[in-house]
Structure 1
Amino acid sequence: MSEDLLVRHCSPTLAGIKTGNLFSCPCASRTDLTKELSQLNKKLVPKGIRVLPLRVRRGRALIYVYRPHALECDLADQRARVLLLKYGYTPENPYCCVVHLIRRLCAEEEFPHEIGLFLSYPPEDVLGFIQNRACNHKCVGCWKVYGDETAAKHRFEQYDACSKIYSLHWQQGKSIERLTVAG
């Protein structure tokens, strides 16, 4: 797994403006993936970021890049807590929540839609997605919006601008460590 994938798919998290990002990448060997993620974590953990495989299936790995402190803040939201409790999470322990998410991803056929709470999606939009079965949304960007459309569009623009700037800096030779904001 290349650092290029991290920059391409996770710039807002690297920049500290988003709790987490997900992306899928080829995975020919779990052993190699573990080594690559260990090397990445050595670079990023001092900056407040963790990189984990959430699921490895059919030659692909689903990678979660996140800021544990930001996740703790996100999961402390009362609306997020209520939703997480409904699906068997213990919201007061973000680490346990990530472990439970991994279990749900590996055990369930349907994708656990509460995953949006781990990616800085507003709780009202995650709940709206679940209740409306992905229909009747106000707009679509990084996620389907059911709540504050104006705020969501502003976030989408921020994430897009960040990704473009990070991509440019990466192409100009900035290292992943230099691109990652400590937090």
Structure 2
Amino acid sequence: METSILEDQEVFEQLKGMSDWLNKKPCYDGYLIRLLDLIGSTMVGVKPAELLNIPINEGGTKNLALEELRVYFLRDKNIKFREIKKQKGRVQVLFYHSTSLDNALCSKASLRFLRGLGYPEQYSVEGYVDFLVTRLNRKDFPHEIGLFLGYPFKDVLGYIGHPSLKLVKINGWKIYGNDKLSNKRYESFSQARKKVRELISPMVN
């Protein structure tokens, strides 16, 4: 995930597909464009997941931008979202890219850590997303979500208080220990989002 991902053919095809889809729409919902900006790096498979709180239309009806995305996501089995809970006029939504998320979670260290928190012994992306959603619906926030969001394992461990890892800076998230991998990861997310922003920027006005 850290090496020239924006030159990857799959990423290029995803960007092209987004462009074709948007250009066929007769008009653009302003919030849809905003959502595409926020989740752009996940939609092209660079960032495995994104967690957002999205306003619900008055009267509790579905957000139209979410419905537009639901239709778009049918084009690609990798891109999905799960509505988690509604509160105070907003719905919490987890957007994720299945292949990218699988790559983020399937290391031995990550799986050992997650299983220690009660995640299923039998690993599958959807099974682990199901378990995360269950935990997101509880009172205590599941800080292991950092792994799902693509943060380096060391930063997740540091955040939950591993004594050997010291906070060195904040750059997108709290970074602990050697910052080389974290910086590279953050830069890949930023570059992907920039590519999507360049794609949708002519449609903002």
* Matched AA of 1:96: G
* Matched AA of 2:142: P
In structure 1, distance between residues paired with 2:179 and 2:105: 21
* Matched AA of 2:44: A
Q: Which 5+ residue runs of structure 1 have no aligned equivalent? A: 175-183
* Matched AA of 2:32: E
Residues 30 and 76 (structure 1 numbering): CA distance in 2 closer, same or farther, change over 3 Å?
Answer: farther
In structure 2, distance between residues paired with 1:157 and 1:70: 16
Determine which of 55, 74, 87 is the counterpart of 2:85. Answer: 55
In structure 1, distance between residues paired with 2:175 and 2:141: 18
Percent identity of paired positions between Structure 1 and Structure 2? 26
Deviation string, structure 1 residues 147-183 (Cα, Å, up to 9, x no partner): 4411211222232233233223212139xxxxxxxxx
In structure 2, distance between residues paired with 1:153 and 1:90: 31
CA contact 1:10–1:21 (8 Å) conserved in 2? yes
Would you say 1:73 and 2:103 are equivalent positions? yes
In structure 1, distance between residues paired with 2:114 and 2:150: 14
Residues 74 and 161 (structure 1 numbering): CA distance in 2 closer, same or farther, change over 3 Å?
Answer: closer
Q: Any residues of structure 2 matched to 1:20-39 within 5 Å, and which?
A: 20-28=49-57, 31-33=61-63, 37-39=66-68
Greater fraction of residues in helix: 1
- TM-score, with structure 1 as normaliser: 0.80
Would you say 1:117 and 2:147 are equivalent positions? yes
CA contact 2:48–2:149 (8 Å) conserved in 1? yes
Give the SS at the match of 1:172. helix
- Paired residue total: 171
Residue range with higher mean Cα deviation, 63-72 or 113-122:
63-72
In structure 2, distance between residues paired with 1:55 and 1:101: 13
Deviation string, structure 1 residues 93-124 (Cα, Å, up to 9, x no partner): 2212111111111122x311001111111122
Give the match for residue 103 of structure 1. Answer: 134
In structure 2, distance between residues paired with 1:66 and 1:83: 20
Would you say 1:163 and 2:185 are equivalent positions? no
Residues 165 and 75 (structure 1 numbering): CA distance in 2 closer, same or farther, change over 3 Å?
Answer: closer
Structure 1 stretches (4+) deviating beyond 3 angstroms? 28-31, 35-39
Residue range with higher mean Cα deviation, 79-88 or 22-31:
22-31
> Which protein has the larger Cα radius of gyration, Structure 1 or Structure 2?
2
Give the match for residue 34 of structure 2. Answer: 5
CA contact 1:20–1:120 (8 Å) conserved in 2? yes
* Matched AA of 1:117: L
Give the match for residue 84 of structure 1. Answer: 114
